[in-house]
């Protein structure tokens, strides 16, 4: 078949300038420029791969991401404003609802901030219980991350395993606080409740059996060709870039910066526990996966040690101006009733000053910044939101990658919109 025949066969009917019917051979048409025009794609706010109500407006050249414009704020609830109208203990339920994948760690973060502001030393038993709360939160948060990210990248099975593990921690949380998600487990100067009977037993059972699930996930994903192909070299950030973008938590450590607040600014006696800070090398999605997976093992180690050393004793400081008396005493004892009344009606007054406490939350550094003017309500309660700041590096990470990689990168940030939007 000659070239001419092919051109004629592919020709399309048309009209010439005089209006006579003619055939326009395709071969004579100018080849369209490959750079072409850029396309605009909207992802979210209702999209399963955006992990909440995140909206991304993506500029695409073919399939390559040229620019990402994230839109946040769909879940904004004004927690910081609400906090200015509440007593310190009344703010704790608000902290549940910021990073709702690790509510107990948020409770601890706020309580530590308020205690630093008021200069309170908590009891040894309370310290260890808070470590347990933080590490349980780290495990469930990383489990959700692992499950949803593997679903985003096409692996369904790990999702079932990780959510089953999360369910077991949720059962323990429910046993302790009566709630699965809105735990509100801390109080300024102590805890809402001591752990119930059989809790230690249940958590010990968990720490014994949990490594098996981690090993299974590790076997299915870590050396899986599809998983490696989708994650290695994707969304990489160097250590300098990660620091410049103020990243924290696993995002920072995956880029090779060995900074962990539990070691470097120890709180709750974390410096007395034996655990390793997990550091990545390349700062890509794969390293973030490895860091989070290994952090679960380390959290499990901390949980075991915490259970071993859990001391007896009171969970609350023995200051009647700070801690509500037991209901039976408040009903029968005049003095206790007065303290009860004053705490409920007036709240606990904090001295003039300001305090910042950063704790290593599963997602990064959760900062609590409290400014007091001497009244029972803070002048300013600022949450340093780790996933908000980590998310701000998304446009930088996604540039030049494929659209499908954008999903992997966004998943690797480990955002929770309750905290991003607050």
Partner 1 sequence: MNPSVDALRATFGNAIGRAAESCGDTIVYVRPDALLAVLGWLRDTPEHRYDYLVDVTAVEYRDRERSLEVVYFLRSLDRRADLRVKIELDPAGDLTVDSVVPLWRGADWLERETYDMFGITFKGHPDLRRILMWETYAEGYPLRKDFPLRGRFSRAEQVRQALAANPEAHYSMEELSIAEAYEELPPDMKERLRRGERGTLPHSE
Q: Which is nearer to partner 1, 83 or 103 (CB)?
A: 83
By CB under 8 A, how many residues form the interface with partner 1? 53
Query: Residues 126 to 185: which contact partner 1 by CB under 8 A?
Result: none
Per CB under 8 A, the segment of 7-15, 33-41, 177-185, 398-406 that binds partner 1 is 33-41
Closest contact distance (angstroms) between CB of 169 and partner 1 is 29
Query: Residues 253 to 282: which contact partner 1 by CB under 8 A?
Result: 257, 259, 264-265
Omega within 30 of 0 (cis) for the link into 131: no
Q: What is the CA radius of gyration of the chain?
A: 27
Per CB under 8 A, the segment of 68-76, 102-110, 122-130, 321-329 that binds partner 1 is 68-76
346 close to 376: Cβ distance less than 8 angstroms: yes
359 close to 269: Cβ distance less than 8 angstroms: no
Is residue 360 part of the contact set for partner 1 (CB under 8 A)? no
Is residue 347 part of the contact set for partner 1 (CB under 8 A)? no
Closest contact distance (angstroms) between CB of 259 and partner 1 is 5
Closest contact distance (angstroms) between CB of 80 and partner 1 is 6
Is residue 73 part of the contact set for partner 1 (CB under 8 A)? yes
Identify the residue among 43, 49, 91, 117 touching partner 1 (CB under 8 A). Answer: 117
Q: Which is nearer to partner 1, 247 or 296 (CB)?
A: 247
Identify the residue among 9, 10, 69, 331 touching partner 1 (CB under 8 A). Answer: 69
Instruction: Retrieve residue 221's tokens.
Output: 């994903």
Q: How many residues does the chain have?
A: 422
Query: Residues 307 to 336: which contact partner 1 by CB under 8 A?
Result: none
Query: Residues 215 to 234: which contact partner 1 by CB under 8 A?
Result: none
In Å, how far from its chain's centre is CA 294? 16
Is residue 67 part of the contact set for partner 1 (CB under 8 A)? yes
Residue holding tokens 């469930």? 140
Is residue 51 part of the contact set for partner 1 (CB under 8 A)? no
Is residue 356 part of the contact set for partner 1 (CB under 8 A)? yes
Burial class (CB in 10 A: 0-12, 13-18, 19+), 209: exposed
How many Å apart are CA 305 and CA 274, to the nearest integer?
Answer: 8
Per CB under 8 A, the segment of 170-178, 212-220, 386-394, 404-412 that binds partner 1 is 386-394
Is residue 379 part of the contact set for partner 1 (CB under 8 A)? yes
Closest contact distance (angstroms) between CB of 384 and partner 1 is 5
How many Å apart are CA 194 and CA 334, to the nearest integer?
Answer: 26
What residues make contact with partner 1 under the rule CB under 8 A?
37-40, 42, 57, 59, 67, 69, 71-73, 76, 78, 80-82, 85, 116-117, 119, 241, 243-247, 257, 259, 264-265, 353-356, 358, 365, 367, 369, 371, 373, 379-380, 382, 384, 388-389, 391-393, 396, 421-422
């Amino acid at each position: 078949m000659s070239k001419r025949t092919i051109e004629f066969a592919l020709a399309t009917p048309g009209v010439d300038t005089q209006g006579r019917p003619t055939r326009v051979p395709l071969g004579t048409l100018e080849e369209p420029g490959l750079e072409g025009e850029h396309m605009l794609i909207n992802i979210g706010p209702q999209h399963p791969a955006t992990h909440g109500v995140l909206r991304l407006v993506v500029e695409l050249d073919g399939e390559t991401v040229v620019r990402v414009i994230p839109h946040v704020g769909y879940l904004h609830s004004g927690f910081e404003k609400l906090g200015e109208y509440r007593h310190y203990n009344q703010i704790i339920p608000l902290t549940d609802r910021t990073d709702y994948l690790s509510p107990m760690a948020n409770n601890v973060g706020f309580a530590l901030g308020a205690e630093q502001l008021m200069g309170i030393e908590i009891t040894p038993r309370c310290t260890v219980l808070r470590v347990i709360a933080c590490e349980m939160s780290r495990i469930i948060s990383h489990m959700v991350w692992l499950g949803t990210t593997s679903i985003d990248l096409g692996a369904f099975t790990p999702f079932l395993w990780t959510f089953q593990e999360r369910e077991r921690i949720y059962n323990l949380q429910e046993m302790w606080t009566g709630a699965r998600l809105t735990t509100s487990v801390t109080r300024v100067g102590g805890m809402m409740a001591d752990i119930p009977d059989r809790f230690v037993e249940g958590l010990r059972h968990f720490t014994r059996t949990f490594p098996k699930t981690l090993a299974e996930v590790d076997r299915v994903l870590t050396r899986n060709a599809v998983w490696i192909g989708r994650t290695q070299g994707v969304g990489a950030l160097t250590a300098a870039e990660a620091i410049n973008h103020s990243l924290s938590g696993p995002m920072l450590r995956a880029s090779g910066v060995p900074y962990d607040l539990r070691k470097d600014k120890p709180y709750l006696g974390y410096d007395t526990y034996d655990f390793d800070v997990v550091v990545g090398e390349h700062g890509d999605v794969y390293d973030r996966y490895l860091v989070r997976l290994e952090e679960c093992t380390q959290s499990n180690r901390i949980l075991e040690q915490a259970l071993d050393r859990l001391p007896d004793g009171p969970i609350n400081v023995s200051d009647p101006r700070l801690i509500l008396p037991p209901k039976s005493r408040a009903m029968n004892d005049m003095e206790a009733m007065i303290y009860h009344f004053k705490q409920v009606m007036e709240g606990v007054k904090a001295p003039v000053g300001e305090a910042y406490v950063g704790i290593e939350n599963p997602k990064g550094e959760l900062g609590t910044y409290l400014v007091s003017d001497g009244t029972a309500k803070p002048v300013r309660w600022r949450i340093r939101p780790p996933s908000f700041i980590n998310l701000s590096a998304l446009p930088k990470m996604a540039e030049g990658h494929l659209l499908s990689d954008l999903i992997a990168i966004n998943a690797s940030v480990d955002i929770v919109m309750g905290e991003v939007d607050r």
